[in-house]
Amino acid sequence: MNPYAKPSEKKVGARRPKISHWPSAVETRTRHERQAEKEAVAAERRAIKKSARRHLKRELLAEMEGEIEESSNIEARNPKH
């Protein structure tokens, strides 16, 4: 799943809403169980997004540190008077 997908784009593939048209006699889950399952999926999505944000932040910081080191090497070779 794309962690930055729009809400309408998240409901594809295995993540699509599963609508069951079963009578209450056949459906054994309670309302609370269905709600708990829905919240678990939402929590998993939040965790994926959080992980993606942390990963991108680490990459950005590493890239910025590389640029700082490069600029300090350039200044060491060409000192200003």
**45-65 pLDDT per residue, tens:** 999 999 999 999 999 999 988
Q: Considering the entire predicted model, what is its pTM? A: 0.52
Average pLDDT, the chain: 80
Q: Are 41 and 76 in contact (CB under 8 A)?
A: no
Q: What is the Cα–Cα distance from 77 to 8, expressed in whole angstroms?
A: 53
Name the residue with tokens 């700082």: 68
The length of the chain is 81
On whether residue 57 sits in a domain, the answer given is: yes
Both tokens of residue 64?
């910025």
**Amino acid letter, residue 6:** K
Structural domain includes residue 45: yes
Domain-located, residue 38: yes
CA separation for the pair 30, 22 (Å, rounded): 13
- DSSP-derived letter for residue 37 is H
* Domain extent for 63: 29-81
Number of domain units in the chain: 1
